[in-house]
């Protein structure tokens, strides 16, 4: 099997930078938090290395940028692409709840151990430990609800990219969002049920890339390793 051709459309996942709740491990969904100074530097460093003409994320190659409406994601978008990005002027930026963080409901702002203790007090999880991928959140989003909104966005993306699988037009797409929902997106991109195990890590400020095998819209794939664009001499 050949390696991915550079002309195959990609979906690039960009997680927002560090926040105070990222540091201490609180579940952060709808709560509006600023990036820490270190979080801003994480994103700026990523942008300096990977975003720009001839770089891995080339604005000229982008057809759409989907951004979570949460403040930390909006700030990350600005740090990656600049406050005066031409992408907005070209109507290529869309702020959408489709990639807002998983709705944690009653678990918003709690630590993992606090959630487990709360559920134990309610007599839940007697047969197996709580698994957010399967069980969702009390008063928040279920696995089925998260699947539905992500699948809807994936269908939109495939409709955009389907006609250009051999590079007829650059149609890369960027998602600027959150660690949990971006990992959920990757699961659904690959057709993995939300409740099925698929170990993934995406640190604050990190970039991930999805694409297709053999230019085939029906063969979505991870790009496990990325070769950076060649430097012009």
The pLDDT, as a whole number, for residue 5 is 56
The pLDDT, as a whole number, for residue 228 is 62
CA dist 64 and 175 (Å) reads 9
Residue ranges of domains in the chain, CATH in brackets: 11-222 (3.40.50.1240)
pLDDT tens per residue across span 4-31: 456 899 999 999 999 999 999 999 999 9
Strand partners, 11: 173, 210
- Here the tokens at position 198 are 């698929």
Sheet-wide strand order for 220-222: 93-95, 62-67, 172-177, 11-15, 207-212, 220-222
231 catalytic residue (yes or no)? no
Known binding residues are 28-29, 72, 101-104
Burial of 228 (0-12, 13-18, 19+ CB in 10 A): exposed
CA dist 191 and 180 (Å) reads 17
Known binding residues for substrate are 28-29, 72, 101-104
Q: Is the pLDDT of residue 233 over 60?
A: no
The pLDDT, as a whole number, for residue 86 is 82
Q: What are the counts of helices (DSSP H) followed by strands (DSSP E) for the chain? A: 8, 6
* Distant-in-sequence contacts of 212-221, Cβ < 8 A, 24+ apart: 212/4, 212/8, 212/9, 212/161, 212/165, 213/1, 213/4, 214/1, 214/2, 215/5, 215/7, 215/8, 215/165, 215/166, 216/165, 217/158, 217/161, 217/162, 217/165, 220/189, 220/190, 220/191, 221/4, 221/190
pLDDT tens per residue across span 177-215: 999 999 999 999 999 999 998 988 999 999 999 999 988
CA dist 87 and 44 (Å) reads 18
CA dist 119 and 124 (Å) reads 5
The pLDDT, as a whole number, for residue 3 is 47
Res. 232 pLDDT band, cuts 50 70 90: low
Average pLDDT over residues 156-167: 95
Would you say 59 and 86 are in contact if contact means Cβ atoms under 8 Å apart? Answer: yes
Res. 223 pLDDT band, cuts 50 70 90: confident
Segment (H or E) for 149 = helix 143-161
The pLDDT, as a whole number, for residue 2 is 45
Q: HEC string of 91-119?
A: CCEEECHHHCCCCCHHHCCCCHHHHHHHH
The pLDDT, as a whole number, for residue 7 is 83
- Here the tokens at position 175 are 């998602």
The pLDDT, as a whole number, for residue 231 is 61
180 catalytic residue (yes or no)? no
Res. 88 pLDDT band, cuts 50 70 90: confident
Catalytic residue, chosen from 40, 101, 108, 141, is 101
Matching residue, tokens 């309610």: 122
pLDDT tens per residue across span 32-48: 999 999 999 999 999 99
The pLDDT, as a whole number, for residue 85 is 76
Res. 1 pLDDT band, cuts 50 70 90: very low
């Amino acid at each position: 099997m050949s390696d991915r051709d550079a002309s195959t459309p990609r979906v690039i996942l960009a997680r927002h930078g560090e926040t105070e709740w990222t540091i201490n491990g609180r579940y952060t969904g709808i709560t509006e938090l600023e990036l820490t100074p270190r979080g801003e530097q994480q994103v700026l460093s990523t942008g300096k290395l990977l975003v720009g003409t001839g770089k891995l994320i080339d604005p000229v190659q982008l057809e759409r940028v989907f951004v979570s409406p949460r403040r930390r994601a909006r700030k990350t978008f600005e740090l990656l692409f600049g406050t005066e990005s031409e992408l907005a002027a070209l109507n290529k930026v869309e702020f959408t709840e489709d990639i807002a963080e998983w709705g944690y409901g009653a678990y918003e702002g709690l630590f993992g151990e606090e959630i487990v203790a709360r559920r134990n007090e309610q007599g839940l999880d007697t047969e197996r430990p709580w698994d957010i991928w399967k069980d969702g959140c009390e008063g928040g989003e279920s696995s089925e609800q998260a699947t539905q909104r992500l699948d809807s966005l994936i269908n939109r993306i495939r409709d955009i990219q389907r006609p250009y699988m051999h590079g007829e037009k650059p149609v890369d797409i960027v998602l600027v969002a959150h660690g949990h929902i971006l990992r959920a997106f990757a699961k659904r991109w690959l057709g993995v049920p939300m409740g099925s195990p698929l170990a993934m890590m995406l640190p604050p400020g990190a970039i991930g890339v999805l694409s297709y095998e053999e230019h085939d819209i029906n063969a979505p794939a991870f790009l496990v390793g990325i070769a950076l664009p060649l430097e012009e001499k």
